[in-house]
Structures are given as structure tokens and as C-alpha cells.
Structure 1
Amino acid sequence: MKVHTLSMFVSNKPGVLGRICQVFSRRGFNIDSLVVSQGRDPEFSRMTVGISGHPEGLHQIIMQCNKLIDVIHCFEHDDRDSVTREMILIKLQAGPADRTEILQIVKHYNGKTVDLHEESLIVMVHGNTDKVDAAVRMLSKFEIVETVRTGKVVMARGTTDT
């Protein structure tokens, strides 16, 4: 199943997210990531939704979301027409012997160390999904205690509205 990234501009009201989630659920799509933030105007919010499901139903989902009264617009983005980023925090158990190699890997992915203790550290990596996934694979040879990953955020290239 292909992962799709939808951008939605919605009214900033209670219950809007629930109604949108019902549309995805009825069509058999799973929400893989969700980022919601208030827009420049506090009456509206921007939603970026990463979903997976059968591509045949995607057009229907977009049409049904656009019919919801609190949805201003909904459409799919791909890598050609938008910039997409996500961020991950990774807590690693690491004594002094492993730190040098971990820090080299993090530096290669333009990441940062955001917390350092005697036996652990937290690193942050941001970028497109492939970059974040690659960093996790490289760091997985060490003991990963936990990860926290944002959903995708997307912005249309050029003068096109997101």
C-alpha cells in the first residue's frame, strides 16, 4: 500500500478532526501520521495527514473531505510539488565507548545531540522520510531506548497554496 500525504485547511473547531477521521476509517485507510497546527488566522488550522490504503479509494476520500462543512480544502501532495519534512528524537543507551560512533552517524545526517548523560543521549534528526528512516537504521545497532517521531509537515512549492 502506498503512503499518501494530504494537506487540509480546516475550521479550528471542536469535532472537526473526528469527522475527518471517520471518512478515512469508512474507506479502509489508516492514518500513519497527523500534524495539526493553528494557521495564521486562529479561526483555521492546517492539517497534514499521512495515510496508507488502496490508491483506488484516495480520490473518493479527498472528495468526501472537501464536502465536509468545516474543510476549506483537501488535496494530495507529492515530492514534485511540495517540500516535506519530519523530525525524530532518539534516546540511545550509550556509554563513552559508543558515543564517538553515534555522534559521527548523527553528524552525517545533520542531526544534533539535544541531551547527554553518562549512560544515554538523545539525538534529533530531521529531513524527508527516507533520511529519517536511514538514520534510524544506522543507529539501530546501538541500544535504542525510545523514539518519538513527528508526522510529516508539507508545504507546496512556489506560489501554490498548501
Structure 2
Amino acid sequence: MNVSDAIRTKRATRQFTDQPVPEDAIRAILNAGRRAQSSKNTQPWSFVAIRDRATLKQLSECGTYAGHLAGAAFAVALVSPDPSTRWSIAFDLGQAAAYMQLAAWELGLGSCIASIYEPEKAKALLGIPENRFFDVALSFGYPAPDQSRPSVVRKGGRRPFGEVVHWERW
């Protein structure tokens, strides 16, 4: 699958099969995040890869819409310095998250981003140091059969190109 196909067909996956993800696939996904571009090559991220079912369940309870973490084969916590200290940190984490999700999709794995609304509880659960910031996790796994998506976005699924893009000026 090329990048254009991955971008065109990628959808959020919130339900997964019980099939485990091979270690080499997990490492490839984490490496994609590690290789992401960052402002001034600061690479402000650290990742916590989580496979333990009980931990995934507990982490899913740290966000209102994070329930999909409980059913994932694994999840990745994106950890950084406090983004309020440097505006580019949030941008950089977004890059790493996107790279990991596209790498997963290429491998036939679905993913979805989760907001962590109880970061202190989640940090304690994962042993993340107090001086680090954590409010986003990604779930990964093989999409459940009812999660199949059309390969082309349905009409009305995305705003038209001409409505989004302006050339030279607004």
C-alpha cells in the first residue's frame, strides 16, 4: 500500500479482534513514530507500549471516549515534556501519532486516538514520571469484521477540495 492509498482509506478503528499483533509489527509501528519529523529535530516524545489486558482496561477508564483501548491488542502512550513550555511539542506528537497510525494501516492494523482526561491517574498506572506530560494514547489491533470500511470515502464524508483549499489567498 502506498502512502496516498493509506491516507485515502484509513479510518478510525474502535473495535478489534482478539488476534495478537506480532512483536515485529509492534516494533515497526513504534519505529515509525520514532522516525517522525519534529521541530528542529527535538524528538520530544517517549512511547510506552502497553500489551497487558488489565492495564489496557484500566487505561481505558482514564478517558471519556477511550473505551476502545480496553479491546486493543496493544496501545501506545505518547509522553513528552509539558507542551505549554514549547508550542511545537503538540505538533511533534501529532506527527509521531500520524506516522504510527499510517504504518499500522499498511500492516493491516486499525488504530484510534484516545484522549486521556485523567492524566495523573494514567501516569501513575504506567509509571510515567511526574515531570512528563501524557494525555494521548493510540489503540492498535486487527479491525473487527464489523469495522470494515469502504475503500473510498462516501459522498459527503469529507468536505469538497474546493471548500477546503484556497490558492494564494483566502
TM-score normalized by the length of structure 1: 0.35
Q: Which has the larger radius of gyration?
A: 1
Higher relative contact order (CA 8 A, sep 6+): 2
> Higher strand proportion, which one?
1
